[in-house]
Chain A
Amino acid sequence: MTAVVNSSRVERSPAIAQLRRRLAWARANLFARPIDVLLTSTIAAAAVALLWAIVPWAFIDAVWVGENRAACRPDAACWAFIVNRGGQFLYGFYPQPERWRVNAVFLIFAVSVFLLLRRDTPGKRVVAFFLLLVFPILGYVLLHGGVAGLSRVTTDKWGGLSLTLLLGVAGIVVSFPIAIVLALGRQSEMPLFRWASIAYIEICRGLPLIAVLFMARILLPYAFPVGSEFDPLALAVTGIILFESAYLAEVFRGGFQAIPKGQAEAAAAIGFGYWRTAIYVTLPQMLRVVVPGVVNNAIALVKNTTLVVILGLFEVLNIVAAGAADPDWLGLHAEGYVFVGLVFWGLCFAMSRYSQSLEREIKAAERQ
């Protein structure tokens, strides 16, 4: 009895109670066994050592402004490299006064994706139609120019992070309809369509992206008339689309399989044919289920688009290499990689968080 009174008196002081709870938590979760004491202190020491190494390098001794690497200290980060070359990192060799066009394309893409993913946007169909059919052409016209008073910017000037992201966007958007057709084909009752889809999907999934890119770059021109001219960027995009549509098709197939059979049977019972069943019954339900899968695929694709460096495109990692080979900024790979890494990390982390929360939502909805 007295013990109870005692403890309640102590817990009256909230600060002490909180401290007690924290200590109890630490004992249970950090120092439960002797080995835990060792592990916890090792990890704490490693974390401190890491911060001790990174903070002075990246912040305290780092130099942000300068004309060349002479302005920087050899033992600290030289962010002046990134600051001076920021435009190139983002836009490659796209002419300065025209860079708003790149921004506009990404803005349009971001707004339409946002509208598409938001729960209660009216007229989602129009947005989807715009994104899948109008946007690729509009984007190309805006970036390439040559019409409507826009000056012409040839694709060899495109580069930097915007090119990496552009390849990812083009890969997903253009692959989307192709992948739906492939997924429908793989489930078709007609053996020829089924076999053709399976062969395409399995071959493209069995090859590394590098091999598919080389295939597009080296083999594709052979299939066109002698003397045809090819834009290297167009060939790279073709390779990415060949590759990505096979992966997306498998995501969509999973989505189709998740729809109860009764749905298609009910549609058949009210006299719907194949296309009407697909368009009004199975496709809309499938698209709702596959969003997390598509986002996960987009994450993988955005990371993979860096591989176009092997085709000599001025993708952002090639810009870093070129910058670090410049006598003014010789050997500053680390700073470039940290910058590129932060951008990719932020992008991919945000996307993966989104897809995780969506998965949880779908699961919760299923349980009800």
Chain B
Amino acid sequence: MTSTGLSTPQIAARPVTLGRNLTGRQRRHILYQAAFLLVLCALLWLAWRNVEANLAVRKLALGFSFLRQEAGFGISFSIIPYAETDTYLRVFVVGLSNTLLIALLGIIAATLLGFAIGIARLSPNWAVAKAALVYIETVRNLPLLLHVLIWYNVVIRSLPPSRQAVNLLDAVFLSNRGIFVPSLETSLGWETLALLVGGAVAAIAGILRRARRWREETGQPTRVAIPIVFILAVALLLVAGWGQLRVSWPALQGFNFSGGMALSPELSALVVALAVYNASFIAELVRGSIEAIGKGQREAAAALGLDRGRILKLVIIPQAMRVLVPPLTNQYLHLVKASSLATVIGYPDLVNVFVGTSLNQTGRAIEIMAMTMAVYLVLSLAITGLSNLQSRRLRLVER
């Protein structure tokens, strides 16, 4: 009673005697922070004055107008149309798309390989488990750059020339000019294709969602295979009939291959190195997450009469995923950032074409570095955000 009686007038008095009611400690804190802010501002101001002086010497003014200038240099590989007459903005987009392509291919390959090796590591077969262990310990103790250089300078270079390319089932050809794989071609524009794929994905997601709700409400098993196959068939028929879908096979013509898709030596070496290196870390994460599930879980599931496959699918994997997702996302983040190693072997990623060639030609160091840093920061935030969303979904619901 007394305490409330005392505190009320104090709170009322606070706006009037601002600062007087602060304790000595709080006052000191404000002082420290003010001093820190002052020093920080002074340093930034000094740096800024130097930046202005440096820019004046180089006769440059800050601004992004250079993005509209013609770049005038060629880029050896791009997944979107690009010509020398395009602008620096286009160069930026080409570099970004090439970076994203490498990151995406690397993530897919590393995940597949990493899961396989992680599961092999837990195999009851001694030879399989030891082989996985040897792989992991060999690969992860070498620098990623060394992996990239070995694949690029040693392995791919020692492949035969195009004429004697290693022929895998007449579909995939390995040569020192790169890897040639079959590709799908349609007359549809990418906008239509994206719309179609998006529609199909949305429809399947909707079905899975409804099925899950149904299962949770009624406890009845659901059959989703037939509608999903139906949707996929419709989408495929649409592309095939309307878009004249056909498979383009690579074939030797003269000294090189035509048709299909050509993965340049740089791209191939980079994707393989990223996959091989990151798979060793992912394998350890997979193993750790499965081992983190208590033995009792497995035993309880077996006691309920579930078979091996169902124990894995219904009991182990859902729980392991909860442990796995955060570190796995972290690994993906590493992979995306590591894809900037591309620049060392000359694959035209963002760093190579933008921080490299574009910066050399325009001298716009500050603008270009700022844009590049923004890209990586946005990518990091996006991946972290997705992972947070996913772990919220997977979080244990305590009842």
Cβ contact within 8 Å between A190 and B33: yes
Q: A198 → chain B, closest Cβ, in Å?
A: 13
Contact A215 B141, beta carbon cutoff 8 Å? no
Q: Are A337 and B145 in contact (CB under 8 A)?
A: no
- Contacting A at CB under 8 A, from B73-120, are none
Q: Which of B349-393 contact A (CB under 8 A)?
A: 351, 355, 359, 365-366, 369, 372-373, 376-377, 380-381
**In whole Å, how far is B164's beta carbon from the nearest beta carbon of chain A?**
17
Asked whether A112 is an interface residue with its Cβ less than 8 Å from the other chain, the reply is no
| Cβ–Cβ contact B141 & A349, under 8 A | yes
Residues of B within 8 A of A221 (CB): 54
In the bound complex, residues from chain A placing their C-beta under 8 Å from that of B340 are 208, 210-211
Residue B153 at the A interface, CB < 8 A?
yes
A85 within 8 Å of B by Cβ?
no
Contact A30 B376 (CB under 8 A): no
Within 8 A of B (CB), among A196-236: 196, 203, 205-211, 214-215, 218-219, 221-226
Query: Which residues of B, 332-359, contact A by the 8 Å Cβ criterion?
Result: 337-338, 340-341, 343-344, 351, 355, 359
Asked if A224 contacts B143 (CB within 8 A), the reply is no
The answer to whether A333 touches B50, judged by C-beta atoms less than 8 angstroms apart, is: no
User: Which of B125-133, B171-179, B239-247, B252-260 sits within the interface?
Assistant: B125-133
Complex contact A192–B33 (CB within 8 A): yes
B214 interface hit (Cβ, 8 Å)? no
Contact code string B35-60 (vs A, CB < 8 Å = 1, else 0): 01100100000010011011101000
Does the CB pair A226–B145 fall under 8 Å? no
What's the nearest-Cβ distance from chain A to residue B291, in Å? Answer: 15
A43 at the interface (CB under 8 A from B): yes
Q: Is A223's CB under 8 angstroms from B47's CB?
A: yes
User: Which residues from 283 to 336 on chain A have a C-beta closer than 8 Å to any C-beta of chain B?
Assistant: 299, 302-304, 306-307, 309-310, 317, 324, 333-334
Contact yes or no, B373 A215, CB < 8 A: yes
In the bound complex, residues from chain B placing their C-beta under 8 Å from that of A348 are: 140-142
Partner of B149, one of A44, A299, A337: A337
* A193 pairs with B153, CB closer than 8 A: no
Q: How far is the CB of A357 from chain B (nearest CB, A)?
A: 15
Given A206-B377, A303-B144, answer yes or no on A333-B154 (Cβ-Cβ < 8 Å).
yes
Residue of B nearest to A345 (CB): B141
- Among B40, B366, B380, the one with the most A-chain Cβ atoms within 10 Å of its Cβ is B380
A153, CB-defined interface residue at 8 Å: no
By the criterion CB–CB under 8 Å, are A30 and B125 in contact?
A: yes
CB of B343 within 8 A of CB of A310, answer: yes
Encoded as 1 (CB less than 8 Å from any B CB) or 0, chain A from 167 to 196 comes to 000000000000000000000011111001
User: Would you call A210 and B351 a contact (CB within 8 A)?
Assistant: yes
A-B CB contacts (within 8 Å), total count: 142
Interface residue? B29 (CB, 8 A) = yes
- Given the interface pairs A39-B128, A206-B376, A340-B146, the reply to whether A193 lies near B33 with Cβ below 8 Å is yes
Measured between alpha carbons, how far is A306 from B143 in the docked complex, in Å? Answer: 7
| Residues of chain A with a CB closer than 8 A to B138's CB | 345
Smallest Cβ distance from A269 to chain B, in angstroms? 16
Query: Of B40, B57, B137, which is within 8 A of A196 by CB?
Result: B40
* Assembled-state Cα–Cα distance A349/B146 (Å): 16
Bound: A349/B376 CA distance, A = 30
Contact A206 B380 (CB under 8 A): yes
Q: How far is the CA of A190 from the CA of B55 in the complex (A)?
A: 36
The CA-CA distance from A196 to B140 in the complex, in Å, is 34
Q: Mark B62-77, 1 if CB is under 8 A from A, else 0.
A: 0000000000000000
Q: Is there contact, CB below 8 Å, between B50 and A349?
A: no
Whether the pair B125, A39 counts as a contact (CB closer than 8 A) is yes
A211:B142 contact, CB within 8 angstroms: no
Q: Is the CB of A222 within 8 A of B54?
A: yes
Question: Are A307 and B380 closer than 8 Å at their CB atoms?
Answer: no
Closest to B47 in A: A223
Q: Is B124 an interface residue (CB 8 A)?
A: yes
Candidates A30, A32, A337; contact of B154 at CB < 8 Å: A337
Give A326 Cβ to nearest chain B Cβ, in Å. Answer: 15
B234 in contact (CB, < 8 A): no
Determine whether the beta carbon of B344 is less than 8 Å from that of A310: yes
What 7 additional pairs, Cβ within 8 angstroms, besides A36-B125, A211-B376, A345-B138? A193-B33, A207-B377, A219-B365, A225-B50, A310-B344, A317-B149, A341-B150
Residue pairs across A and B with Cβ atoms less than 8 A apart, 19 shown, are: A30-B126, A40-B125, A193-B36, A196-B40, A203-B377, A205-B380, A206-B376, A206-B377, A210-B340, A211-B351, A222-B54, A226-B54, A317-B145, A334-B150, A337-B149, A341-B146, A344-B142, A348-B141, A348-B142
